[in-house]
Amino acid sequence: MNTSIGTDILIVGAGPIGLELAVVLKTMGVSYEHVDAGQVGQTISWYPRQVRFFSSPERIAIAGVPVGNSDQEKATREQYLAYLRGIVQQFGLVIHTYERVMELVKNEEGFAVHTRRGSEPRLYQARHVVMAVGDLHHPQKLNIPGEDLAHVSHYFDEPHRYFAQKLLIVGGRNSAVETAIRCSRAGAQVTLSYRRERFDETSIKYWLLPEILSLIKSGHVTYLPNTAPTRICDTHARLARTDADGQIMTEGGDPIDVPADFVLLLTGYRMDTSLLESAGVELVGENQGPRFDPDTMMTDVPGLYVAGTAAAGTQKNFRLFIENCHQHVTKIVKAITGQAPPAGMVNDAAKTYDLPES
């Protein structure tokens, strides 16, 4: 084992909020280390190519640096990843990327944090740990036969591969609707299965809803409401009927066999809470989010904080986004250092948003 690295604060996660916190701590001269299991902005790199953020650029800006783009539109995935790389370079942030936390142990000095990069282990001894790890770690599996077939995926990359193919998309929120629109316009034969009767307007970007409804009305997208897959085969998927609550009906309603060359199960993602649980953090509520003090963001394990969407657990009805998590940085910095961040260093564009109950 390597000699342990001592630090006041260890930040786990190099997404937007983790980076904003790092900039503030470096500017204030606070001792910290920063690790991420993947690359800077790892979760955002999983977004589909060229997808645009729902939030406006000024709300997802961090560390007082504007998000600039040439068309004055909402930022794309590519533009925002370039922006985050620029933040790292501009402030000279040192981030140990591709270094995964393997174990988080509370001790008398704070926390012993065991990490690994490749085959190389490392040990950090930190007085405080901030978990800014996001909440989209694993797909929500349907646990149906055929879910692991080669032509089935829980992730959408880009529409070209589905040109002139029969594509079944399962889901009814932003990701599924946007994917249906893009793939239809790229020449795919799209069928959209949703376990509810109608789309929830609060769960879909406002500019997408009229587009998907128009494509459905014109027949360019085949819409199968109140359906859910129960089996996926090489050439088709079997859909069962669902009731008004979106539950599969045990009686009544004949199943539907939908021809499919590809199947996208865009049914949401869940947070990996294993590190928080192993450290002794209590998970609460429907989302199984960490229990924390909303004034400080400290969990019920003293010295262990959550920041960003990690504070929400697995979000079924989304309430935490980048734009209303900037305030976490201010709360954590005040709690640990007793001082407020330098003026203008933390984005306050959405400071009026309330935290979900912990």
pLDDT tens track for 156-199:
999 999 999 999 999 998 899 999 999 999 999 999 999 999 99
Record the pTM: 0.87
53 confidence band (pLDDT: 50, 70, 90): confident
> 291-318 pLDDT, tens per residue?
999 999 999 999 999 999 899 877 766 6
Same domain, 178 and 77: no
- Residues in Cβ contact with 192 at an 8 Å cutoff, skipping those fewer than 6 apart: 169, 171, 172, 176, 177, 180, 212, 216, 221, 222, 223, 224
In the chain, the percentage of residues whose pLDDT exceeds 90 is 72
In a domain, 346, yes or no: no
What is d(CA 267, CA 282) in angstroms, rounded to the nearest whole number?
26
Same domain, 40 and 120: yes
| Mean pLDDT confidence for 107-117 | 95
Same domain, 133 and 25: yes
Q: Which of the two residues, 351 and 227, has the higher pLDDT score? A: 227
H/E element holding 260? none
| Sequence letter at residue 332 | I
Structure tokens given for 51: 């997808």
pLDDT on residue 353: 45
Same domain, 16 and 131: yes
281 confidence band (pLDDT: 50, 70, 90): very high
| Mean pLDDT confidence for 99-120 | 95
* Torsion-angle region of 62 (φ positive above 0: left; ψ -120 to 50: alpha; else: beta): beta
Listed range (44-53, 126-135, 166-175, 325-334) with the worst mean pLDDT: 44-53
- Mean pLDDT estimate for the chain: 91
- pLDDT higher than 80, residue 81: yes
To the nearest 10 degrees (0 to 180), the angle between helices 174-185 and 209-218 is 50
Structure tokens given for 64: 């007082």
| Mean pLDDT confidence for 45-65 | 88
In a domain, 212, yes or no: yes
- pLDDT higher than 90, residue 3: no
Total domain count for the chain? 2
- pLDDT higher than 70, residue 336: yes
Q: Which of 141, 138, 131 is nearest to 270 (CA)?
A: 138
- Residues in Cβ contact with 36 at an 8 Å cutoff, skipping those fewer than 6 apart: 12, 13, 14, 18, 42, 95, 96, 97, 98, 99
pLDDT on residue 107: 94
- pLDDT higher than 50, residue 352: no
Instruction: State which of 63-72, 96-105, 249-258, 342-351 shows the largest mean pLDDT.
Output: 96-105
Residue at a domain's end among 206, 240, 265: 265
In a domain, 351, yes or no: no
Listed range (51-65, 230-244, 270-284, 344-358) with the worst mean pLDDT: 344-358
The answer to whether the beta carbons of residues 58 and 346 sit under 8 Å apart is no
Query: If DSSP codes are grouped into helix, strand and coil, which group holds residue 281?
Result: coil
Residue at a domain's end among 240, 265, 290: 265
In a domain, 358, yes or no: no
CATH of the domain at 88: 3.50.50.60
Q: Which of 140, 136, 101, 354 is nearest to 266 (CA)?
A: 140
Residue 312, φ and ψ in degrees, nearest 5:
-95, -15
The answer to whether the beta carbons of residues 332 and 355 sit under 8 Å apart is no
Instruction: State which of 91-100, 280-289, 323-332, 349-358 shows the largest mean pLDDT.
Output: 91-100
Q: Is 26 exposed, middle or buried (0-12, 13-18, 19+ CB in 10 A)?
A: middle
In a domain, 290, yes or no: yes
Query: If DSSP codes are grouped into helix, strand and coil, which group holds residue 51?
Result: coil
What is d(CA 265, CA 344) in angstroms, rounded to the nearest whole number?
41
Residue 292, φ and ψ in degrees, nearest 5:
-150, 165
- Tell me how far CA of residue 277 lies from CA of 105, 158, 244, 289, in angstroms: 11, 35, 35, 10
| Sequence letter at residue 98 | Y
Structure tokens given for 41: 């902005």
Q: Which domain holds residue 198?
A: 138-265
Same domain, 128 and 9: yes
In a domain, 354, yes or no: no
Same domain, 133 and 153: no
Query: If DSSP codes are grouped into helix, strand and coil, which group holds residue 16?
Result: helix
Same domain, 104 and 144: no
In a domain, 256, yes or no: yes
In a domain, 355, yes or no: no
Listed range (50-59, 105-114, 224-233) with the worst mean pLDDT: 50-59
Same domain, 106 and 211: no
Same domain, 31 and 66: yes
Q: Please report where in the chains the tokens 């912990």 appear, as a residue.
A: 358
Same domain, 109 and 144: no
Same domain, 211 and 251: yes
To the nearest 10 degrees (0 to 180), the angle between helices 326-337 and 16-28 is 40
Same domain, 318 and 211: no
| Mean pLDDT confidence for 126-153 | 92
- pLDDT higher than 90, residue 130: yes
